[in-house]
């Protein structure tokens, strides 16, 4: 058992049970360019240390302790629960624990992992004097070789949402009331034939992150009709209403309707044969936003916690692809595209600025949190292009707005607002499911492979897949825009 098993068990025993037979690997969102442990060893200036190995026993670790002050990846276990301490410094039986975190802002979301690890370490006879988190320094900008000392920061406090140290980690851990033995008793006696008949939906199913087994626990929701009350977005009462026999959006109980614009659009769509749009608001939005030529652009990028190239900060992204469709006032469309490898930022910028018309509206989906942000980052990294990039950023318009603001809703969206969902309603002929690359994560995964293969034919195939995928995204923007225009 590892600490991740305990965390799953405490969140939901069923989740723990399902995870035991789940071999599905999750996609590594972060593209990590170096051995982070080595980097932190440099930061801490550790010269002599014991390096823990997989499956080591407490005896092995204690032997390491007797010979070294520093332990890296030290393995401890207690009643079958195994944990790994990233960095441990000790003198005698007193020690400091150092946890590493690929984040700019270590918050108390890390409490569980630290609490359990610290508990196992103390059960093994050590006394903890202090606990630190080593995290990424957001002020660091790479110039030349990585400077490990500047890349990382160290804190003994959790930070609040504003990025300020708010509570001492060890003090916070000491305040937690829990018994490691009690939880382990429950876990060790857990019946693996967990009752599969009655599944109760709780906030743990859909809380901060939706449980990966949600569809398995509630298969009926997959087959629910498009206008099911369960599609009502942001509603805390939808399950209550469902239990009370209300099945459809149109029948919503007004006492339990929170009244957001999105919810209103959903209910009205159900009352209007599946489609709602506020013609006046939509017409006015389109008139305000539309200046020809219209550009429809979509970027793909990879996320690097440790900056791989000059002028990049920790946790910045590197855009490696764009697809652009330009529509003239006569309706004609031209297509432009780009894919780069490794440090392709400058080529990306130059090609894009060259391809984009020097005036007119630029549409993207979720533009402010995505494409516009990328342009701001690129303008910091390449000040010589800053004026042009920021001028382009100022022309972006978010094509998601009419949907997010409840101006348009189709029940086929089923409470989801992604470009892919909306495109699938508008154009049933073209589908992302027909492509090898179906989503942004697939695109990142293929791009990471491209950078490491020499086989030209295979590389060409991968390029084609990426072009098709990103091309469908930019063309989906054109289709959504055309559809909105046709509505008014
Ligand atoms: S969906 Fe809910 S009940 Fe099912 S495993 Fe996840 S948390 Fe448990």
Residue nearest to atom 7 of ligand 1 (CA): 205
Q: Which of these, 387, 279, 386, 296, lies nearest to 335 by C-alpha position?
A: 296
Residue 195 belongs to some domain of the structure:
no
Check if 213 has its Cβ closer than 6 Å to any atom of ligand 1: yes
Are both 370 and 485 inside the same structural domain? Answer: yes
Residue 343 in any domain: the answer is yes
At residue 167, the pLDDT reads 95
CATH of the domain at 162: 3.40.1350
End-to-end CA gap in the chain: 59
- In terms of residue numbers, what domain contains 88? 32-188
Domain-ending residue, one of 227, 253, 275: 275
Give the up-direction half-sphere exposure of residue 182: CA atoms within 13 A in the CB hemisphere.
4
Separation of CA 184 and ligand 1 centre (Å): 21
Q: How high is the pLDDT of residue 194?
A: 58
C-alpha of residue 221 to centroid of ligand 1, in Å: 14
Contacts of 2 (CB under 8 A, 6+ apart): 81, 82, 83
Give the whole-angstrom CA distance, residue 63 versus residue 51. Answer: 11
Query: What pLDDT, on the 0 to 100 scale, is given for residue 46?
Result: 97
297 located within any domain: yes
Q: Which two tokens stand for residue 53?
A: 């190995």
Contact 368, 398 (CB under 8 A): yes
User: Are residues 144 and 263 located together in one domain of the fold?
Assistant: no
pLDDT at 428: 80
Residue-wise pLDDT tens digits, 206-242? 776 789 999 889 888 888 999 999 999 999 899 899 9
Give the total number of structural domains in the chain. Answer: 3
d(CA 216, CA 201): 12
Angstrom distance (rounded) from CA 231 to CA 222: 11
- What is the Å distance from ligand 1's center to 200 Cα? 8
Is residue 4 in some structural domain?
Answer: no
**Ligand 1 contact via 211 beta carbon (within 6 Å):** yes
Task: Report d(CA 212, CA 202) in Å as an integer.
Answer: 14
Residues lower than pLDDT 50 in the chain: none
User: How do 362-364 and 396-398 pair as beta strands?
Assistant: parallel
Query: Do 151 and 214 sit in the same domain of this protein?
Result: no
Final residue belonging to a domain, choices 275, 308, 332: 275
Instruction: Classify residue 173: in a domain, yes or no.
Output: yes
Please tell me the predicted confidence (pLDDT) of residue 300. Answer: 95
Half-sphere exposure of 79 (CA within 13 A, CB side): 15
- Cβ neighbours around 199 below 10 Å, total: 15
On whether both 123 and 169 belong to a single domain, the answer is yes
In angstroms, rounded to a whole number, what is the distance separating the alpha carbons of residues 301 and 390? 19
pLDDT digits (tens, 9 = 90+) for 314-333: 999 999 999 999 999 999 99
Give the number of other CB atoms < 10 A from CB of residue 419: 21
Q: Which of 7, 8, 11, 12 to mutate to test the pocket of ligand 1 (most atoms within 8 A of CB)?
A: 12
Q: Which of 252, 275, 298 is the last residue of a domain?
A: 275
pLDDT of residue 192: 62
Question: Which pLDDT score is estimated for 190?
Answer: 81
Same domain, 73 and 111: yes
Q: Is residue 198 one of the residues assigned to a domain?
A: no
Looking at the domain assignment, is residue 83 inside a domain? yes
What is the C-alpha separation between 367 and 374, in angstroms, rounded?
10
Q: Is 6 within a domain?
A: no
Calpha distance 68→47 (Å, rounded) = 10
- pLDDT for the residue 104: 96
What's the CATH number where 384 sits?
A: 3.30.420.10
List the beta strands (DSSP E) in 147-293.
152-155, 157-159, 165-168, 275-277
Q: Give me the pLDDT at residue 477, please.
A: 97
**Same-domain pairing of 261 and 312:** no
Mutate to test the pocket of ligand 1, among 190, 200, 205 (most ligand atoms within 8 A of CB): 205
User: 260 and 374 share a domain?
Assistant: no
Q: Answer yes or no: do 360 and 432 share one domain.
A: yes
Hey, which of 201, 209, 214, 219 would you mutate to test ligand 1's pocket, going by the most ligand atoms within 8 Å of its Cβ?
214
pLDDT score recorded for residue 197: 60
Residue nearest to atom 4 of ligand 1 (CA): 217
Give yes or no: residues 208 and 336 share one domain.
Answer: no
Q: Counting atoms of ligand 1 from 1, which one is nearest the CA of 12? A: 8
Cβ–ligand 1 contact at 204 (below 6 Å): yes
Let me know whether 170 and 293 are in one domain: no
pLDDT of the residue at 245: 94
Q: Residues 16, 8: contact at Cβ < 8 Å?
A: yes
- Reference 115, options 263, 7, 224, 227; nearest CA is 7
State whether 228 and 271 are in the same domain.
Answer: yes
User: Is the same domain home to 293 and 409?
Assistant: yes
The four Cα atoms 353, 358, 360, 361 give a dihedral, to 10 degrees, of 20
Provide DSSP, 146-182: --HHHHEEEESEEE-TTS-EEEEHHHHHHH----HHH
């Amino acid at each position: 058992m590892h600490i991740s098993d305990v965390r799953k068990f405490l969140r939901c025993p069923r989740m723990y049970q399902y995870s035991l037979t789940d071999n599905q690997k999750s996609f590594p969102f972060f593209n990590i360019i170096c051995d982070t442990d080595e980097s932190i060893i440099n930061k801490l200036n550790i010269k002599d240390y014991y390096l823990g190995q997989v499956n080591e026993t407490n005896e092995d670790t204690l032997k390491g302790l007797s010979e070294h002050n520093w332990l890296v990846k030290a393995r401890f276990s207690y009643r079958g629960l195994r944990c790994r301490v990233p960095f441990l410094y000790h003198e005698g039986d007193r020690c400091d624990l150092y946890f590493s975190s690929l984040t700019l802002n270590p918050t108390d979301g890390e409490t569980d992992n630290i609490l359990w690890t610290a508990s196992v370490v103390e059960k093994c006879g050590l006394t903890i004097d202090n606990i630190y988190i080593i995290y990424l320094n957001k002020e660091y900008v790479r110039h030349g070789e990585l400077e490990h000392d500047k890349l990382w920061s160290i804190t003994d406090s959790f930070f609040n949402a504003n990025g300020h140290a708010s509570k001492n980690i060890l003090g916070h851990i000491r305040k937690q009331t829990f018994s490691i033995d009690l939880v382990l008793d429950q876990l060790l006696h857990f019946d693996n034939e967990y009752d599969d008949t009655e599944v109760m939906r709780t906030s743990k199913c859909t809380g901060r992150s939706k449980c990966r087994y949600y569809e398995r626990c509630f298969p009926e929701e997959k087959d629910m009709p498009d206008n099911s009350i369960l599609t009502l977005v942001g509603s805390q009462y939808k399950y209550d209403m469902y239990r009370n026999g209300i099945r459809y959006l149109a029948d919503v109980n007004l006492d339990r309707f929170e009244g957001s614009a999105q919810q209103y659009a959903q209910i009205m769509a159900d009352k209007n044969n599946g489609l709602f749009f506020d013609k006046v608001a939509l017409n006015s939005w389109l008139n305000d936003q539309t200046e020809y030529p219209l550009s429809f652009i979509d970027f793909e990028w990879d996320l690097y916690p440790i900056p791989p190239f000059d002028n990049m900060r920790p946790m910045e992204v590197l855009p490696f692809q764009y697809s652009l469709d330009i529509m003239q006032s006569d309706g004609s469309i031209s297509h432009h595209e780009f894919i780069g490898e490794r440090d392709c930022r400058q080529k990306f910028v130059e090609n894009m600025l060259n391809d984009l018309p020097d005036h007119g509206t630029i549409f993207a989906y979720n533009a402010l949190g995505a494409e516009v942000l990328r342009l701001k980052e690129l303008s910091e990294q390449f000040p010589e292009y800053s004026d042009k990039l920021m001028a382009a950023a100022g022309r972006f318009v978010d094509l998601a707005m009419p949907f997010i603001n409840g101006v348009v809703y189709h029940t086929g969206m089923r409470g989801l607002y992604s470009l892919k969902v909306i495109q699938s309603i508008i154009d049933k002929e073209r589908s992302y499911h027909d492509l090898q690359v179906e989503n942004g994560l697939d695109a990142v995964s293929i791009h990471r492979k491209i950078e490491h293969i020499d086989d030209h034919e295979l590389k060409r195939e991968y390029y084609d897949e990426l072009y098709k995928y990103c091309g469908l995204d930019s063309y989906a923007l054109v289709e959504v825009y055309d559809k909105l225009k046709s509505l008014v």
